Structure 1
Amino acid sequence: MDGGSGLDELGRRRALAARMGGEEAVARHRGRGKLTVRERIDQLCDPGSFREIGSVAGKAEYDEAGRLTGFSPSNFLFGRARIDGRPVVIAADDNTVRGGAADATIDEKVVQAEKMALELRLPMIRLIDATGGSVRTTEALGRTYVPMNPGWDSVVASLETVPVVALVLGSVAGIASARAVSAHLTVMVEGMSHMFIAGPPVVRGATGRDLGKDELGGARIHERAGAADLVVPDEESAFAAVRRFLGYLPSASGEEIPRAPCDDPADRREPALASVVPPDRRKVYRMREIMEAVFDAGSVMEMAPRYGRSSITALARLEGRAVGVLASDPMIYGGAWSADTAMKVTRFVDFAETFRLPVVHLVDIPGFRIGLDAEQAGTIRHGSRALAAVYQATVPWCSVIIRKCFGVAGAANMNPERFRFRYAWPSGDWGSLPLEGGVEAAFRRDLDAAPDRAARLKELTAGLEKYRDPFRTAEAFNIEEIVDPCETRPLLCEFAELAYRLNLREPPRTRARP
């Protein structure tokens, strides 16, 4: 075949691949309100930056003379691109070809995509719109097979090396769901995204339960379960989330963390913070208002807001420098850590450690959640794992104790064996147990023997109340500095500046996990 005819053939095959699953399949796909895979790539990436690899891979048919008579492209695309000027790897499913079914793809393309991100140290962006395995594979092979996930070692290694984002852009199941959650940020689209271990037909056949897609694996289900970090209204918002998320992170662990322009003064003081915490300890307040006040204006990007809700996890900036944020939410269980909160904290601390993000912890932790439900959920096991994550972390860490800090969960405010970059507001309240409830436990016999139990309880509580003064703790240097709340932003900006002077390129101790 001479050069000219070879180029003609290349053009022909590329044109066939660009048709995706054909006019009818593409029309059906768009009829569901979805962009095609190539439209998605065009909208996400910088214009003209996508360089596809394996563009003419697929299933071909030939006549007896060796002439091409039919061609169905692989339903998995990948290549390099740029997002806001940053090189990335794009791995995208084409749902118009056999519904994105795993048995209609070419495994080696998936493997090479993951290896490309890992070995070239480029962020991996997965656009997932695929189903899992099918019994059709058994029919085609004429046998069954022992399951394996080709290239999964690269999937796991990438979590320790580069930012990984997965957008769930359709109804996905099986291995596609596993790819979706094996990411640092998993985004689902309201009304469009569904994620299943196995879809409704399989569940119906295996269990007899007839569940709809939303009922079994809708976006809101996974948002509450923690499998989805964000739920957004449309595909455009999903692409915007990718761009924003990458802006806080290096391209790979150990590389420089980008600094954003900032016109929010580092010395900005917020007088309103002095009254945000109610004097009555039984009353709650909005932690997110504090976050908006102390971090750069508009810089807070919350992750997993509907999961493990007594702790807020977010990315934010201080004078343009990216930080990871842990913050208690006293509106949920008073800020007490439940089992799912502890799992959320563990994952977030591992994430910050992987990319060497300094951590700011805004603390109001009355302890672990208590009661039968908490015991049945294994809260102490998950809580101890979160405590280990905090104590294993080596990134710069600054804690601000806003109000409560009690018990084993409260001890996760930071690792006290390190330099304690820690402040407290005058509203600080800490100890092994709060007086409320603690007096009952400590003086039970005394109370039971008292002629007037309620009066004796009141007397004991009043006698201990004076020891609750946070300034007594500061006198013993058990809290390093009590500060005016309005000084919090300047102090945190100073912390971020000092943190970024450290060598953040040392490898993390912990290993990231999905």
Structure 2
Amino acid sequence: MSPDSSNGGGGKARRDDAVEDASSWEQPLSELREQQRLIRRPNLQDPGYIRQRANAKLWVRERLTTLLDKDSFAEVGSVTGKPVYDEKTGELKSFTPANCVTGFGRINGRKVFVTADDFSVRGGHADGGIQMKAPYGEILARKARVPLIRLLDGSSGGGSVATYLTIGATYIPGMAGLGKSMDAMSVVPVASALLGPVVGLAAAKAVIGHFSVMVKGLSQLFAAGPRVVKQATFEDLSKEALGGWEIHAQNGTVDNVATSERDAFRQIATFLSYLPSSIFALPPVTTSADPATRREEQLLSIIPRRRARPYDVRRLVRLVVDTNGPVEDPSSSSFFEIGGTWGRCIVTGFARLAGRPVGVLTSDCLVNGGAIDALGSQKSARFVTLCDHFGYGLPLLNLVDLPGFAVGSVAERAATIRHGASAMSALYNATVPIYTVIIRRAFGVAGGVFADPEDGAGTRVAWPSGDWGSLPLEGGIEAAYKRQLDAAGSAEAREKLMADLLEKFESVRSPMKTAHKFGVEEIIDPRDTRPLTCEWVTHVYEHVLPQRLTWRQGRFGLDGKPSTGRGYRL
């Protein structure tokens, strides 16, 4: 029986229907492809595109190509926007896309989600955007449990008074998706690159994340732009004077500074390489060619015998952590510093030990003598919270050389002890494993908290250069023996009495005396620091971190949203 005659000729009719159906969908598919073609190719005559080029900025899709692995971008909302058709022919004349491009992609083979502002469309304002497109992307990132990257340029869909005329009314401002941003950072790493003027809603997004980087000479950040500021405060300021990198890289609003857009993308890729894709996974472990047993001779002499002399703490860190080249070459080291331009008395960053990511917390004796000030306290609290949050916790290598809190009128006006309490609270409440090495000083309340962050229950060792107490001897003697020193009679006599007192106390200052009373658990050869920390971190990754899985699952629902209604601590 022929197909045409089967079932009363129905076979031929069905085949014809199939051919007709296939051809009937070609037209809408062709229209879809044409709209995508218009959106994905820059209009060289468009004023917005010309302005981007004039300011030496990459176009939004060039940014995506530069950031992501080749051909890995899978767009979400590819034809979101406003098409314009010829009234007579019905043909597509032009297409104004939404000023936010979103989608999945990969960085070094690892899946991420990107929301990227297109400043060439209405300067990134709300009247050039499509409501909820960017927040939807943040929901997708959280549910997919992949890192979220924001490329900020403009207001990221924030308010514009022109919108009032479009909708015919004013409105009470809402959260504008910021709740979704906070939900996202509770579950996945969130990194932002500031690639132009970042204002209003975009400025809020820049700080609702785990890492942010500005580009020198290209990006600015402010709650409101120069024209609004002039109306409100009568200050006539340029964008750079109001919110340039030199302001926000020093006050802690952003973490790092880049020399170019490409450098910003490199820093984001590096930052993410230390973190898991979400809090439900362990940080990524790599193979390290640097032997875990390496004993670095330079560590034996890096701390000067004269206590008042400074040293390079970043070099010390590089001598301990993994490196893929000469230990003296910063570019070979696995240490990636975060926040190097602000709170500079404290040094924070990520590194690897035996291929395993760790957070690094220490102080810089070249700034404030290492005393922790208000910004250093804020920096410490933020970093410890970050390490405590991700993966089942990012283990923390804590290298202590802390003379205490900064003192004096400037420190008091800056509310140093108030901010210091935040750092103390973050360390005390952290559940992440911490390996503490007292490399030199640990004085006062601040020294006590940093030198014993787990309240007697942590892993702690000291170097022979350890020097600790309720107060540094020099200042403490001045306070304790003030009456005798003042009664010395002459400057020479006072100086001799001070020298005699210092010599008397020197006999009890040795860390060996503390070790005899088990006031410090172990004093180690500085050259053993790397082998010991590598052994510790290997044990932590194999036996400690996996046990935190049950706790994570109990705190978060299946969709990755905090079951308690509380998210990441900013």
Normalising by the residue count of structure 1, what TM-score does the alignment of the two structures yield? 0.96
2:180 paired with 1:154: yes
Q: CA deviation at 1:457?
A: 2.7
Partner of 1:236: 262
Which runs of structure 2 are paired with 1:446-485 in the superposition (5 Å)? 446-451=484-489, 452-485=493-526
- Change in 2 beyond 3 A, CA 1:183/1:20: farther
Partner of 2:250: 224
Contact kept, 8 Å, 1:190 with 1:231, in 2: the verdict is yes
Contact kept, 8 Å, 2:183 with 2:567, in 1: the verdict is no
2:279 paired with 1:253: yes
2:59 paired with 1:36: yes
Partner of 1:372: 409
More off after superposition, 147-156 vs 49-58: 147-156
Which runs of structure 2 are paired with 1:351-500 in the superposition (5 Å)? 351-355=386-390, 356-413=393-450, 414-417=452-455, 419-451=457-489, 452-500=493-541
Please give the alpha-carbon distance, in whole angstroms, between the structure 2 residues aligned to 1:411 and 1:107: 51
Match of 1:107 among 116, 127, 131: 131
Which runs of structure 2 are paired with 1:57-96 in the superposition (5 Å)? 57-62=80-85, 67=90, 68-96=92-120
Q: CA deviation at 1:62?
A: 4.9
- Say which SS state the counterpart of residue 342 (structure 2) adopts: coil
Please give the alpha-carbon distance, in whole angstroms, between the structure 1 residues aligned to 2:443 and 2:136: 49
More off after superposition, 4-13 vs 432-441: 4-13
More off after superposition, 26-35 vs 84-93: 26-35
Contact kept, 8 Å, 1:220 with 1:231, in 2: the verdict is no
- Say which SS state the counterpart of residue 39 (structure 2) adopts: helix
- CA offset digits 1:186-238 (Å, max 9, x no partner): 01111111111111222122222121222111122211111121111111111
Question: Could you list the runs of 5+ residues in structure 2 that have no partner in the other structure?
Answer: 1-22, 324-332, 556-565
Q: CA deviation at 1:503?
A: 2.9
Q: CA deviation at 1:114?
A: 0.8
Q: CA deviation at 1:19?
A: 4.0
- Say which SS state the counterpart of residue 48 (structure 1) adopts: coil
- CA offset digits 1:319-369 (Å, max 9, x no partner): 110000001110111111000000000000000011110000111000000
Task: Determine what percentage of the aligned residue pairs are the same residue.
Answer: 45
Partner of 2:240: 214
2:88 paired with 1:51: no
2:68 paired with 1:26: no
Partner of 2:344: 309
- CA offset digits 1:437-478 (Å, max 9, x no partner): 111112223333444433333322222221111101011111
Please give the alpha-carbon distance, in whole angstroms, between the structure 2 residues aligned to 1:66 and 1:343: 62
Please give the alpha-carbon distance, in whole angstroms, between the structure 2 residues aligned to 1:337 and 1:14: 54
Please give the alpha-carbon distance, in whole angstroms, between the structure 2 residues aligned to 1:418 and 1:353: 19
Please give the alpha-carbon distance, in whole angstroms, between the structure 2 residues aligned to 1:237 and 1:144: 41
Which runs of structure 2 are paired with 1:289-300 in the superposition (5 Å)? 289-297=315-323, 298-300=333-335
Please give the alpha-carbon distance, in whole angstroms, between the structure 2 residues aligned to 1:397 and 1:177: 33
Contact kept, 8 Å, 1:420 with 1:480, in 2: the verdict is no
- CA offset digits 1:344-399 (Å, max 9, x no partner): 00000000011110000111000000001111111101101110100101111001
Contact kept, 8 Å, 1:265 with 1:319, in 2: the verdict is yes
Contact kept, 8 Å, 1:354 with 1:511, in 2: the verdict is no
- Say which SS state the counterpart of residue 326 (structure 1) adopts: strand
Q: What is the RMSD computed on CA atoms of the aligned residues?
A: 1.9
User: What amino acid is aligned across from residue 58 of structure 2 in structure 1?
Assistant: L
Partner of 2:198: 172
Contact kept, 8 Å, 1:20 with 1:96, in 2: the verdict is no
User: What amino acid is aligned across from residue 331 of structure 1 in structure 2?
Assistant: L
- CA offset digits 1:280-322 (Å, max 9, x no partner): 1111111011011000011000000011111100100001100
- Say which SS state the counterpart of residue 132 (structure 2) adopts: helix
Aligned residue pair count: 514
Q: CA deviation at 1:65?
A: 7.0
Please give the alpha-carbon distance, in whole angstroms, between the structure 2 residues aligned to 1:326 and 1:398: 10
- Say which SS state the counterpart of residue 423 (structure 1) adopts: strand
